[in-house]
Each structure stands twice: as structure tokens, then as C-alpha cells.
């Protein structure tokens, strides 16, 4: 057991950070702190639009040529390079002599206005192709994703391209999306519902032939997905919506087909990714499964400085391969 994981496996943060909802929500306050601290490294920032098929993705680079390690970061569902956990990771890793590359998939962050077509859960190959365009073979390269980005990172890990990464990791990764939706508390249902509907409104303003008025009245995720599938995947027919969810769950087959070392970091009290959906992964020899008793979803608030102990564990995992 590594030092950081040993320290935080059963670590109980001070109140209120030892509650799953408050840990998840209050972690968002890191953003104000990180933005102020990140001003000192803005001189190293550049960005690039990456084209894959008919899509445009956006990569944000913080590069210092003397650094010999690159970490590539994927945001959670409809998040982006400026999501709290992405900024937190940028500041943490860059100040420890890592180059940091944050990739916005379709409809994430500043890629939203660039694409008429929509993001969907089967875009892992689109993201992999974008990563292949920007990976630096002269550096030690690592891949980490948060929440839905963690799901993508693990599935990208099954491709031959994954061997270019020394290690990949999912932090609070989405394991079984169908079960997560069924068990989501109402607060998170509204939160993710509003994020999704925001993408409709943005695209309607840019492309006048779009009209999603029928979606705005809906609050049932399953009904929305069922209605949305023919729009985003017109060439695929699903007899049952469960067939769609099964296509991107992190099951044993995914883990057994990983082409490089992989880790999962997740909290037992995660309110978005139910811990029981990870049971088939906890003793799997193909992945290093690191669960902590507390942390919420992408929260992992260690103290009143809002330090994130998940990325301390992550750095230790990756550093074993440098």
C-alpha cells in the first residue's frame, strides 16, 4: 500500500467535508482559489482546436519544455477545462513539474459552440483520436479522467493507442450509467438535467434549424435519452434503451482488455456513482482499485484549505511509473 493511499483510505475529513453531498458541492469553492493562484502560470498556456472527423475538440496546454512528464486530463459530463477539479489538477501537477494538457471533448467547455453535432457517450474513439494528435512521444505520458471522463479514460485504455500512456486513471469514474441515473438524488437529477438543456439552448442560438422545445418540458432522464438517441445515433437502432447503456459501462471485459496500467480512485460515499456498481472491480488484478471511505463525487476535500486528496493519490500512482 502506497503512503498517500494508506493515509487517506479511511481518512475522515473535518465536518462538513465528511458528508457526501457537502464534500461534492463545497469542493466547487476551490475554483476561486485556483483561478487566483493560476495567474502565475498563465504565461505557459496555449490552446489548439483539434479536428476529428466532423467534430472539433479543444486542447488547453500548460507546457514547460524542461518538464519530462505530461498528464492529459478529461473532464466530467459537460464540464470543461475550467471545471473546478480540472483547475485544481492543473495547479497541483504543473507546480510539481508536470506538463498539463486539458482536453475538452465535443460540447465540453469552449468546444460547445464549435459543433452542430452533439456529444454522446460513445465518443471515446473521437477523444482517443484527438489525444493521438497531441500526445508527445518524447515525454512520459499519463491519462486521467474525472467522472464521465474517467469512464472515457478507462475505455480508451482498451485501444492499442493506450500503450502510449504509461498509466491511466479514472477518478470517481462513471461505471454503470443506468444505475447511476436510477439512484441519483433529485438535486443531482436537476443539476445534470440543466447542464444538458443548456447545450440545447446554445446550439439553438447558433443553428436556427434546431428546435428542442419538446425537451425543455421533460425531466425524466430516461425519456429524454430515448427521444435523443435517434438524433445523435440515427444509424443505430435500439430495441431497448438498456442496450445503449451496456455499450459504455465499465464491466470486467473492459478491465481485462486494458492495454496499459490503470487505476480507479473512488469514494465509498459517492452520491453519483453508487459504490455497489464497482464490486466487480475491487478484486480485479487488471486494475488498481483504490477506494476511500469519504470523498463524495470528485470532492475528496482534505481540510479547510480545500486540498484534494484524490490527486495526491493519483500523483503517487503515476509516479510509480516514472
| Domains of the chain, first to last | 3-177+248-319 (3.40.50.1820)
Average confidence (pLDDT) over 152-176: 97
Average confidence (pLDDT) over 226-250: 94
Omega within 30 of 0 (cis) for the link into 314? no
Lateral strand order in the sheet of 288-292: 45-52, 55-62, 99-104, 69-74, 140-146, 167-171, 261-267, 288-292
- Over residues 253-285, the pLDDT tens digits come to 999 999 999 999 999 999 999 999 999 998 888
Give the C-alpha separation, 182 to 223, whole Å. 12
Q: What are phi and psi of 256, to 5 degrees?
A: -70, -20
Q: Per-residue pLDDT for 322 more than 90?
A: no
Q: Write out the three cell numbers for 113.
A: 459552440
pLDDT value of position 284: 83
pLDDT value of position 1: 66
Model pTM?
Answer: 0.96
- Is residue 33 exposed (0-12), middle (13-18) or buried (19+ Cβ within 10 Å)? middle
SS3 173: coil
SS3 238: coil
CA nearest 23: which of 292, 317, 315? 292
Q: Write out the three cell numbers for 235.
A: 444509424
Give the C-alpha distances (Å, rounded to integers) separating 218 from 172, 223, 227.
27, 8, 10
Q: At 213, is the pLDDT very low, low, confident or very high (cuts 50, 70, 90)? A: very high
For the chain, count helices (H), then strands (E).
13, 8
* Residues forming a β-bridge with 272: none
User: HEC profile for 150-170?
Assistant: HHHHHHHCCCHHHHHCCEEEE
**Averaged pLDDT of the chain:** 95
Between β-strands 99-104 and 55-62, what pairing exists: parallel, antiparallel or unpaired? Answer: antiparallel
pLDDT value of position 35: 77
Give the C-alpha separation, 250 to 155, whole Å. 8
pLDDT value of position 193: 92
Between β-strands 69-74 and 55-62, what pairing exists: parallel, antiparallel or unpaired? Answer: unpaired
Amino acid at each position: 500500500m502506497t503512503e498517500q493511499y494508506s493515509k487517506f483510505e479511511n481518512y475522515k475529513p473535518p465536518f462538513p467535508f465528511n458528508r457526501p453531498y457537502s464534500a461534492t458541492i463545497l469542493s466547487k469553492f476551490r475554483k476561486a482559489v485556483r483561478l487566483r493562484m493560476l495567474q502565475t502560470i498563465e504565461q505557459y498556456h496555449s490552446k489548439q482546436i483539434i479536428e476529428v472527423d466532423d467534430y472539433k475538440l479543444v486542447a488547453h496546454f500548460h507546457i514547460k519544455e524542461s518538464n519530462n512528464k505530461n498528464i492529459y486530463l478529461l473532464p466530467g459530463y459537460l464540464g470543461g477545462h475550467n471545471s473546478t477539479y480540472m483547475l485544481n489538477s492543473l495547479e497541483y501537477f504543473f507546480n510539481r513539474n508536470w506538463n498539463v494538457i486539458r482536453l475538452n471533448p465535443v460540447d465540453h467547455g469552449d468546444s460547445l459552440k464549435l459543433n452542430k453535432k452533439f456529444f454522446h457517450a460513445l465518443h471515446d474513439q473521437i477523444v482517443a483520436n484527438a489525444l493521438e494528435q497531441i500526445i508527445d512521444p518524447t515525454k512520459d505520458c499519463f491519462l486521467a479522467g474525472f467522472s464521465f471522463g474517467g469512464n472515457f479514460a478507462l475505455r480508451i485504455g482498451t485501444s492499442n493507442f493506450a500503450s502510449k500512456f504509461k498509466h491511466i486513471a479514472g477518478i470517481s469514474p462513471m461505471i454503470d450509467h443506468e444505475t447511476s441515473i436510477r439512484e441519483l438524488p433529485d438535486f443531482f437529477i436537476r443539476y445534470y438535467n440543466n447542464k444538458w438543456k443548456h447545450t440545447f439552448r446554445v446550439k439553438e442560438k447558433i443553428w436556427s434549424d434546431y428546435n428542442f422545445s419538446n425537451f425543455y418540458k421533460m425531466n425524466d432522464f430516461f425519456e429524454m435519452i430515448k427521444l435523443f438517441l435517434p438524433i445523435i445515433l440515427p444509424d443505430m437502432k435500439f430495441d431497448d434503451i438498456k442496450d445503449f447503456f451496456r455499450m459504455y459501462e465499465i464491466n470486467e471485459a473492459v478491465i481485462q482488455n486494458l492495454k496499459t496500467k490503470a487505476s480507479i480512485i473512488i469514494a465509498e460515499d459517492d452520491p453519483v456513482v453508487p459504490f455497489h456498481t464497482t464490486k466487480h472491480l475491487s478484486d480485479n488484478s487488471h486494475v488498481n482499485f483504490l477506494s476511500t471511505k469519504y470523498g463524495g463525487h470528485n470532492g475528496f476535500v482534505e481540510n479547510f484549505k480545500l486540498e484534494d486528496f484524490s490527486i495526491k493519490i493519483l500523483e503517487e500512482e503515476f509516479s510509480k511509473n516514472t
